[in-house]
Structure formats: structure tokens, C-alpha cells
């Protein structure tokens, strides 16, 4: 597996990472723990060194899974986790309240260190921008944790270019994690020029469009009530039917390249910038191997242009988040 550098610092990771969220949360009920540990070990065996989790996934379950899985590989893998949420006592303890106050960030850090079974968090992201706390205070709190040796690198998720600049002025931001794929290209206009200017890496989550770009989902697919796509406007049956045209284009390119649609979607991201590291998630070994195969698919500048021109003609239907989550991005 090739390596890539995130940001202008010394954080080097596998060109394709692994998003662990779906093993415990958001894509249906939590999966069997031992099976998931075996899959994470298989990813390491195949050269993956970059794994993504968060306190809120589960909540807490995913960090515990990741901590147990990688205890034998300490120092050989880079683990990213996130802070910024807490249980809301006014809503039955649901984790739907933002909290990036400095004292809370430090508490979260201590809990994550224990669950991950590490001495320092490799990459600590603010999960969503909290408008009640100036980003300078957030960056300052992480800077303190870096000085104390509890965190190695600072990241942001779904932040605006202006917020990234303000944070970076206090503590260098190594990576931005935001949704980006052929199914959601807005970051090209809103944040990527700033990332390039400041030397910040980009970690696209949902690089396969929450599974849509694999070609395995259509208008007839039924989502479990515990699968968050059941509440996403872009995944309503009528919008899936309308958006199928994009999958058809990606599938057509895949046929020409003797690759799968998922591999084309990931290869496109890898070809966009050398500082982009996508983190597809899966719970199946066959899908892991398919995703990693994307690193061997090279797209020429002409193929990139052709793919982008064809896909940009498709008018994609539906918001990418329900209203509550939609208001928390790009702040």
C-alpha cells in the first residue's frame, strides 16, 4: 500500500484508510465484535495504517472496539478520533448536543485515551464546529493537549474555510475530514483551495457516497430503521431513482477500466490531489479488498476530465443530511 502525507507535517498514512463507524453505529445494529476485530487485523495485514473512529460512534462502543483490535499493533497504526458531542439530558440522554468547551475537550481526551488503549491520540478532530465556543479556544485546548503529549495532531471536520483559517492560526490543522465524493463535490469550491494554500490534508468520509456509488443500492433497496440513510433525503426512493444516472456513468467507466464502480470512485479521489486520503468503511472482507484494489487503478488526466464532465451533467436530487445535521456543516 502506498503512503501519503497529511498536511505539511510528519503524519504519513496509507493512501486508503478505513472508516470504522459502521461496525458499531449508523449503518444498522452493531456487528459481531470478534468478526470486526478480525477484519481490522486483515486491513493491517493488507497495508492499511490509518483508522478512523469517534467518541460518539456507539456512543463509545467503536472506540472500545478499535482500542481492543489495535492493542497488538501499537505504534504501527495511526488512529484518528473526534470530540465535540455529549449526551443531552433534555432529550433522554441522546448524543445530540455539541460541546467543544476546552474543559470538555480535555475530559473527552482522557476517556478516548483509555478506550483506545494508547498514550497519545494520533489525530484529534473537532467533530462539528460549535458556534458557542470560539474556534480559537478549541484550537488552544488541543494545543495544550499536544504540549502535554496526549495528542499528536489536530484536525477539523465539516468546517468552513474561514473556520479552518482561524483555527490554523492558533494550532496548525493537519487534516480536514468532510464528506467528498463524485456524489458530493461541493468541497472543491468551498474548502479545497484553502487546504492547498495552507498545506492541510483532506480525509474524505463517505467516499463511496454512503454506499450509493458501489452500484449495490437502487430505488428498491430497503434500509433498516437503525440505518441512518433511512432518514437522509438523498436516499429517498424517488431521489435514488433520479440519482441512478450518476451510478450508471461510474459503472460505465468501471467497465472500460476492468474495475468496479467503487474502485473508480476511490481512484478518482486519489487522483484529485496527492494529499487526499479517503476512508471507506466496510464490515466485509471482500469489500475491504475491493476498496484497497482502487489504489492500483490509475486514471489519466483525460479520463478524469471525461468522468467529471459526464458526472457534472447529472442534477443530483435530495439534501445529503436531515435538517438537524445539515445545519451543523460548513460553519
Please give the pLDDT value at position 9. Answer: 81
Q: Is residue 157 part of a domain?
A: yes
State yes or no: pLDDT of 52 exceeds 90. Answer: yes
Please give the pLDDT value at position 159. Answer: 98
Q: Is residue 226 part of a domain?
A: no
Q: Is residue 252 part of a domain?
A: no
Please give the pLDDT value at position 7. Answer: 85
Alpha carbon distances (Å) from 36 to 77, 288, 311:
16, 12, 34
DSSP summary character for residue 98: E
Q: How far apart are CA 252 and CA 268, in angstroms?
A: 14
Cβ atoms within 10 Å, residue 37: 17
Task: Report the Cα–Cα distance between both ends of the chain, in Å, rounded.
Answer: 35
Cβ atoms 64, 112 nearer than 8 A: no
Please give the pLDDT value at position 119. Answer: 97
DSSP string spanning 315-327? Answer: ---S-SS-HHHHT
Please give the pLDDT value at position 150. Answer: 98
**pLDDT tens sequence across 139-156:** 999 999 999 999 999 999
State yes or no: pLDDT of 303 exceeds 90. Answer: yes
Cβ atoms within 10 Å, residue 200: 25
Q: Is residue 233 part of a domain?
A: no
State yes or no: pLDDT of 8 exceeds 90. Answer: no
Tell the residue number behind the cell numbers 471507506, with chain if given: 280
The mean pLDDT value for 313-326 works out to 94
CATH of the domain at 184: 3.20.20.100
57 in active site = yes
Q: How far apart are CA 3 and CA 183, in angstroms?
A: 25
Q: Which of 57, 125, 180, 321 is catalytic?
A: 57
The mean pLDDT value for 70-77 works out to 96
Instruction: Write out the three cell numbers for 241.
Output: 431513482
Q: Is residue 315 part of a domain?
A: no
Q: Is beta strand 3-6 parallel, antiparallel or unpaired with respect to 11-14?
A: antiparallel
Q: Is residue 219 part of a domain?
A: no
Alpha carbon distances (Å) from 32 to 23, 35, 36, 61, 112:
8, 5, 6, 12, 22
Q: Is residue 112 part of a domain?
A: yes
Instruction: Supply the pTM of this predicted model.
Output: 0.97
Cβ atoms within 10 Å, residue 150: 19
> pLDDT confidence of 277, banded at 50, 70, 90?
very high
State yes or no: pLDDT of 299 exceeds 90. Answer: yes
The range of the structural domain enclosing residue 20 comes to 3-209+273-297
Which ranges constitute the DSSP H helices of the chain?
A: 33-45, 61-70, 102-116, 135-147, 161-170, 187-190, 192-198, 237-257, 261-272, 285-293, 301-312, 323-326
Structurally, the chain folds into a number of domains equal to 1
Q: Is residue 243 part of a domain?
A: no
Amino acid at each position: 500500500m502506498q503512503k501519503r502525507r497529511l498536511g505539511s507535517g510528519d503524519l504519513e498514512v496509507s493512501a486508503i484508510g478505513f472508516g470504522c463507524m459502521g461496525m458499531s453505529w449508523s449503518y444498522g445494529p452493531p456487528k459481531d465484535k470478534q468478526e470486526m476485530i478480525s477484519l481490522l487485523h486483515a486491513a493491517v495485514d493488507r497495508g492499511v495504517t490509518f483508522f478512523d473512529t469517534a467518541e460518539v460512534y456507539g456512543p463509545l462502543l467503536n472506540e472500545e472496539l478499535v482500542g481492543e483490535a489495535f492493542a497488538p499493533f501499537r505504534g504501527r497504526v495511526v488512529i484518528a478520533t473526534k470530540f465535540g458531542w455529549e449526551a443531552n439530558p433534555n432529550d433522554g440522554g441522546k448524543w445530540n448536543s455539541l460541546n467543544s468547551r476546552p474543559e470538555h475537550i480535555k475530559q473527552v481526551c482522557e476517556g478516548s485515551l483509555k478506550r483506545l488503549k494508547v498514550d497519545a491520540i494520533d489525530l484529534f478532530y473537532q467533530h462539528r464546529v460549535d458556534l458557542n465556543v470560539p474556534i480559537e479556544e478549541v484550537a488552544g485546548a488541543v494545543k495544550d493537549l499536544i504540549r502535554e503529549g496526549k495528542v499528536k495532531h489536530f484536525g477539523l471536520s465539516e468546517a468552513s474555510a474561514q473556520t479552518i483559517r482561524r483555527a490554523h492560526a492558533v494550532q496548525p490543522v493537519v487534516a480536514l475530514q468532510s464528506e467528498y465524493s463524485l456524489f458530493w463535490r461541493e468541497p472543491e469550491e468551498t474548502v479545497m483551495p484553502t487546504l492547498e494554500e495552507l498545506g492541510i490534508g483532506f480525509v474524505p468520509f463517505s467516499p463511496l457516497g454512503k454506499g450509493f456509488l458501489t452500484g449495490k443500492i437502487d430505488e428498491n433497496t430497503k434500509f433498516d430503521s437503525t440505518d441512518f440513510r433511512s432518514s437522509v433525503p438523498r436516499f429517498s426512493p424517488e431521489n435514488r431513482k433520479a440519482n441512478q444516472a450518476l451510478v450508471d456513468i461510474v459503472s460505465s467507466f468501471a467497465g472500460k477500466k476492468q474495475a468496479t464502480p467503487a474502485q473508480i470512485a476511490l481512484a478518482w479521489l486519489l487522483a484529485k490531489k496527492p494529499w487526499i486520503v479517503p476512508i471507506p468503511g466496510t464490515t466485509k472482507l471482500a469489500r475491504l479488498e475491493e476498496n484497497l484494489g482502487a489504489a492500483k487503478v490509475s486514471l489519466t488526466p483525460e479520463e478524469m476530465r471525461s468522468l467529471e464532465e459526464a458526472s457534472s451533467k447529472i442534477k443530483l436530487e435530495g439534501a445529503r443530511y436531515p435538517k438537524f445535521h445539515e445545519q451543523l456543516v460548513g460553519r
